[in-house]
Amino acid sequence: MSNDKSGMSRRDVLRYGSLSVAGAAAGLLFGGKVEAQASLGTTIDVHGHVWTNEYLDMMDKFGKKDTWVQRNKGAGMGDAEMQKHLEMMDSVGIGIQALSICPQAPHFENKDNAVMAARKANDIYAEVLQKWPTRFLAYVALPLPHVDESLKEMERMFSHKGFVGATIATSILDKSIADEAFMPVYQELNRRNSVLFIHPGGYSAYSPLISEHRLTWMIGAPIEDTIAVMHLITRGIPQEFPNLKIINTHLGGSVPVLMQRLDNISTWEYPSIPEKPSIAVRKMWYDTVGMATIRAQGGCGFDWRRPTGIRYGLSYEPGPLFKRAADYIHEVGLKRRKSIAFCTATRRSF
């Protein structure tokens, strides 16, 4: 059984990779010694992106109409773009970033298209991990709604170092991510003690009141986050699959603001709900891509500063917004040393 430069076997890599995004980073790159990366920063960003024009062209070919959103963002694989990407990470103390192909998820009704796009996305990220093995991790893109093909793709990619979980959009075409058809995916990820990173698809929650008023990303994305979190809770996913670490983006959308309302109204609107939302919500994880809203959300009945509830996430868009996304988390009253401690996950805290 071959070992990588950290002295870890392939079995160790897979085991650590299945524990958590950040835990995988510590185990995969340092054998548990995060200090070795201290010169680059020990914070692990769980929310990053890379897209190539070739992949986006494929998405266009298969019918996507919104790839313009991801183009010309400086998130490509060209030498100059990647150098800038790494410099931006270094500037805010990020040692490692986990990459998700979403929102350009390979979710297509046509099975061949979905599989082709998923394999393309995953091969791109495999190349990134090969070129920059100490700076990036990645989530496996899944060709949903095709479950058997998704399971096969997970099996293929989890044999590569650096893939530490899977990623899906907040809905699979017009189906809930908690649809019974997708339970085999949750079962497999749970069996692997793995991670599921869920990102808005930019679908405007299928509402023309959002899409036709150019509100897809201003309010549509956090609404999609909110719907996804609540679908997981009402289906009992966090309770049923306790070994699965689910990371929801953007602080869970509106969930923290609505926490007390959810508890109160669920008693009569959904009396058979598996758990109170305020209990179930604590069994998942939430990244910090909140565009400076954590203070407001943290004051609405849910403590997002709880060390095991929040994960450092920035998304990636070069310029002032990237630094702002990193800085605002430290403005809630925590000293940088403490905030870095809770933003940086470890196997123990995860």
pLDDT of residue 262: 97
Q: Which two tokens stand for residue 226?
A: 């909110």
Q: Kindly report whether the peptide bond that precedes residue 271 is cis, defined as omega within 30 degrees of 0.
A: no
pLDDT of residue 41: 55
Spans in the chain with pLDDT lower than 70: 1-42, 290-350
- Among residues 233, 52, 134, 296, which one has the least CA distance to residue 225? 233
Q: Which two tokens stand for residue 78?
A: 């060209």
pLDDT of residue 39: 43
Q: Kindly report whether the peptide bond that precedes residue 256 is cis, defined as omega within 30 degrees of 0.
A: no
What's phi and psi for 58, nearest 5 deg? Answer: -65, -40
Task: Decide: 51 and 315 in contact? Cβ < 8 Å.
Answer: no
pLDDT of residue 304: 45
3 state SS of 21:
helix
The residue type found at 66 is D
Residues 6+ away with beta carbon under 8 Å from 72 = none
Q: How many whole angstroms separate alpha carbon 62 and alpha carbon 59?
A: 5
Residue 39, burial from CB neighbour count under 10 angstroms (0-12, 13-18, 19+): exposed
Containing H/E element for 95?
Answer: strand 94-99
Q: Which residue has the tokens 């891509």?
A: 289
pTM as predicted: 0.81
pLDDT of residue 9: 40
